[in-house]
Structures are given as structure tokens and as C-alpha cells.
Amino acid sequence: MMLNSLNAFDKSSLKKTVTKVTTLTGDQFVEYKNEQGLTERKTVEKNGKVAGFVVDPCADLQIGEISPDLILGSQDVAVELNLLQKYNVTHILNVATFVNNTFPEHFTYKNIDLLDIPETNIAEHFESAFQFINSGKNSGGCVLVHCNAGISRSATIVIAYLMKTECWCLDKAYQYVKEKRSKIRPNAGFQVQLKTFEQQLKDQGLINK
């Protein structure tokens, strides 16, 4: 019965999904795939009207060098072999959606598929992400943490990692990462989770700076 259902399955019958994102400034946009498979965003204006635009196709190759063994970037960095080798990358933590691991023969990967929406529970993945980052650093290499834009999900992971390993408060960790990659902007839900994580570390006596 199940096999027959699978054989009869037509992916065109699937309902198209739309991701709604709210920025720190309160602006909102929805993201979806068009008929050509390209990602499109439509900003939601306050008067209810919607303005559409195609995502900027220009590659974002800016590296946020957190330390010699930890870097932060977008999905574009993750497909630039020469750039990855320049930074001695050995491990790649991929917290993006719809982004394949391009060089499995060159790097050790870990995937955590997360949507960049406030409702996503990113904090439940902190410890597994930290363990992977530590394994890469302890191997003598360098770890790239990336999502799609290198702005919200990957930045949240790196900020939380610094809070835990450097015993830093949220504000110090956030400002440090922002100095390294100015465009970071964890979504509102992730900010709340980082604040909760900060309180947990304080309760454990692990934040002293």
C-alpha cells in the first residue's frame, strides 16, 4: 500500500511553501521559489501592499574571521574552494536551507537544517554545534559556520559559542561578531533565545565578562 502510494506520488501536487521573516526593524518579507526555481522575496509594506523583488545574485564573499580557527560567512563562501583553502578550513557547519555540501571530499561537514524565522528553536542545537566547532578547532584546522546569507542563523550560533567558550555576556559577544562581519542581524526570535541562553550561563556561573 505504501509502495503504491510512493510510486503514484507527484511532487507537483505539493503545496508551495512561503517563509515569512521579520527583521530587527520590524520590516517583514516573504520568501519562496518561483516557477524557474529562483528564490524571490516580497516585502510586506505597512499598508498591506506587497512589493516584489528577486534576491541580489551578487556573491557575498566577506569573511568574518572570528579567530584563526573559526570563520563566519554566507553560502557563497562555502562554494569557493580557493577561499576555503586560504583560511585553512577543514570543517564546515552548514545551518542553511536548500544548500548542498559542495566539497565532501575536502571537508568534514555537519548540517543543521534551520529556517530563519523567529519561531525556530535554534537554541536546542547549540550544544551539537559547539561540539562540532570544537572538534574542528581541536583538529588543528579551521571551521566555517555558514547559513544562506551569513546574517542570522550562523551569526546566532557563533555568538552563542563565544558566550559559552569565552564566558562573555550577550552584548560583548554580539558586538565582537558584528565587528568581524558588520551585516549580522539575528532575527527577533533568535535574540530572545540568546538572551535566555545568557541567563542560563549566568545561573551556572559561566559568564564573568
Residues classed as catalytic: 147
What type of residue is 196? T
Residue 32 · residue 44 · CB < 8 Å: no
| Grid cell for residue 120 | 525556530
Contacts of 36 (CB under 8 A, 6+ apart): none
In Å, what is the CA distance from 203 to each residue of 169, 199, 206?
12, 6, 8
Residue 95 · residue 147 · CB < 8 Å: yes
